[in-house]
Amino acid sequence: MIIPEGLNSKKSIKLKSRNKQKKEEAQRLKLNSITDLFNNFYFHQYGKERWPNLLSSLKGPSKSCAMINKFASNVSISEFIHDSKSSNNSDMMKVDYLDVECYVSDSKFPKPKKDEHNILNVYHLDLASIMVTKALDVQPGDIVLDLCAAPGGKSLAILQHLLNIVDQREGENEGRSTRGMLIANEINNKRFHRLLQVIKSYIPFKYHQDHIKLVKNSPTLNYSYDKILVDVPCSSERHLITDQNELSKWKESRSKIFSIKQYNILLDAVKALRINAGWNYKWLKETMDGKSVKKLNLDGSFCQINVMVMAQCILQF
């Protein structure tokens, strides 16, 4: 019996179509199952009232934030503000409760531009990164470590504080040095070079030698610091929620592994604090809660522990 060639072709197409539908259905069921596991995991972490609010915020659009670089010329900064108001940022608002000048908007801000001295005028980052640098309460002469520094936004925010103090206290040498320094650490080579480029593009060269040191080894082993900012690697829930492909790979063990990694990084940071130093740890996840963090206050250490829930501040804003 001879089957017409066209009939074979149609059967083949139908078979491929059915296989494709089965594959898509299997993927859909798998994603639904993982989504349920994901929500149940964080439901038990945050509670029935808090998790739905957090989930809604994570799914929603995030505000754009632009930090003004105080080292750029006034003309360049004025042009940025003018261009922002003239474009799609009619709703832009200055964040008055922060010492560093920054603005937020529902729309994207214009790209950074170089001034006449080749210094970029603005840096785009999330508002929380600026908030944590304010909590450091940088003082004259402080030696500050940004432990996980790349891409560089938090380091820039710290330098807005630190170098402003340096400028105000220039020439004073009474008692403890008031020069101050930021040590910015990043172990990943690619991210380290990104950090280096950011510092070069935003901070005048005259500050580089005496007030800024970029490292990619273990800065907590042989040195001690007055203030340490630890932005530990996170499990990126916002990214997972908005990317189905990434969410399909999620496992509960992933969040727990990140929690252990965070704990170990924080442990190194506590050991590197000077006597009577204070430190702040901001976290968005309950897998590394306040009780766990306070365990880091080791016997024999002389550090004050101040644990703050950063998520509450962000949601209030």
Number of CB atoms found within 10 A of residue 317's CB: 12
Structural element, H or E, at residue 123: strand 122-124
Catalytic residue chosen out of the listed positions 102, 234, 303, 313: 313
In angstroms, rounded to a whole number, what is the distance separating the alpha carbons of residues 58 and 79?
33
* Cβ-based neighbours of 82, under 8 Å, separated by 6 or more: none
* Long-range contact pairs involving 95-100 (C-beta distance under 8 Å, separation at least 24): 95/65, 95/127, 95/130, 98/130, 98/131, 98/134, 99/134, 99/160, 99/161, 100/67, 100/68, 100/70, 100/130, 100/133, 100/134, 100/157, 100/160, 100/161
Q: Which residues are annotated as a binding site for S-adenosyl-L-methionine?
A: 148-154, 186, 210, 231
- Residue 313 is a catalytic residue: yes
Q: Which residues are annotated as a binding site?
A: 148-154, 186, 210, 231
Alpha-carbon distances, residue 304 vs 12, 227, 267, 277 (angstroms): 71, 12, 14, 7
User: Among all residues, which ones are annotated catalytic?
Assistant: 313
